[in-house]
Amino acid sequence: METTNQGSRQILVVDDDPSIRLLLRVIFETAGYTVTEAQHGRAALTRIETELPDVVVTDLKMPVMGGGALIEHLRSDPRSMHLPIVAVTADRNAKEVARKANAILRKPFHHSTLIETVDGLLEERALKAG
């Protein structure tokens, strides 16, 4: 896999399955990102209170707080309303739940598609900011 060399770009991976979190961590770290993890939406919100990541990559179906509720909460908070969010899901009918995400990737997805999606969102955000 080619490294994108993102340096200190921080990605928060939110998924209730530890094996999926590990897989996503490996994919992103190999591409040069720094990764933090949360096992559900409520844990993600706790992490975000202390440090706002550059991107959130979240599953949709999780216990405690699902990805749809997490996305809604992030979009309603002025601090995180413009945060790039990628929803990853196996649910083919998830479009409505994830409508406020910047991108929706269906599981299984190719790792290069995931990296290209995140890179593109970060480039778009940098262009708007700069």
Nearest 10 degrees: Cα torsion 95, 31, 38, 66: 0
Report residue 120 as tokens. Answer: 């593109």
Q: How confident is the model over 67-103, as pLDDT tens digits?
A: 999 999 999 999 999 999 999 988 877 777 788 999 9
Q: What is the pLDDT of residue 5?
A: 44
User: Residue 53: is the preceding peptide bond cis (ω within 30°)?
Assistant: no
Q: What is the residue extent of each domain of the chain?
A: 10-129
Q: How confident is the model over 99-124, as pLDDT tens digits?
A: 899 999 988 889 999 999 999 999 99
Q: What is the mean pLDDT of the chain?
A: 90
Q: What is the pLDDT of residue 7?
A: 54
Q: What is the pLDDT of residue 121?
A: 95
Tell me which CATH homologous superfamily contains domain 10-129: Response regulator (3.40.50.2300)
